[in-house]
């Protein structure tokens, strides 16, 4: 079944990973990502970003800097239906840091879809675990598997209801 929404991790999934990036000028999309996102949009599938940004909790960057980077990502690869960010550090015990499901559940609610018909795409096991914990399906960017290949496989299935 085609998903009713696709939720992407940001760093090393959509854009090159720059640790604790607070500078929009450093945003560099990964190859093939724009075309894959456009294909999803053309199919009527909303796309959003779900991203741990522990640099805020660690004091390395501000939430305003994360927002500025997300604005640049949206300008280069958007439009996105939303950006859902956990600003906490790994030891903060929050409910939103992946692998906990809150970011995925919040995104699904904001998009007006059930988590079970969402797909989460990311480069870390915590992305896949967050998907599973929310009742969604997860796909991991790994090795030769890219966003382009994952999106192509998602679009080849029958539409969801």
Catalytic residue, from 11, 106, 123, 127: name it: 11
d(CA 46, CA 8): 11
Contact between residue 89 and residue 55 where contact means Cβ atoms under 8 Å apart: no
Please confirm, yes or no, whether 9 is among the known catalytic residues. yes
**Cβ(123)–Cβ(141) below 8 Å:** yes
Look up 106 and say whether it is catalytic.
no
CB 34 within 8 A of CB 143: no
| Alpha carbon distances (Å) from 31 to 7, 51, 151, 158 | 18, 20, 13, 27
Catalytically annotated residues: 9, 11
């Amino acid at each position: 079944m085609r998903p009713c929404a696709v939720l992407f991790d940001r760093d090393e999934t959509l854009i090159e990973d720059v640790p604790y990036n607070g500078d929009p000028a450093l945003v560099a999309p990964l190859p093939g990502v724009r075309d894959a996102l456009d294909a999803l949009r053309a199919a009527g599938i909303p796309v959003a970003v779900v991203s741990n940004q522990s640099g805020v909790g660690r004091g390395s960057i501000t939430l305003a800097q994360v927002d500025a980077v997300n604005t640049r990502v949206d300008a280069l690869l958007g439009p996105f239906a939303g950006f859902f960010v956990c600003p906490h550090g790994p030891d903060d015990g929050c409910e939103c840091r992946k692998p906990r499901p809150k970011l995925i559940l919040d995104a699904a609610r904001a998009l007006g879809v059930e988590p079970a018909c969402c797909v989460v795409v990311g480069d870390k096991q915590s992305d896949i675990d967050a998907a599973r914990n929310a009742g969604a399906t997860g796909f991991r960017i790994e090795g030769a598997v890219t966003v382009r290949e994952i999106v192509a496989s998602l679009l080849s299935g029958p539409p969801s209801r």
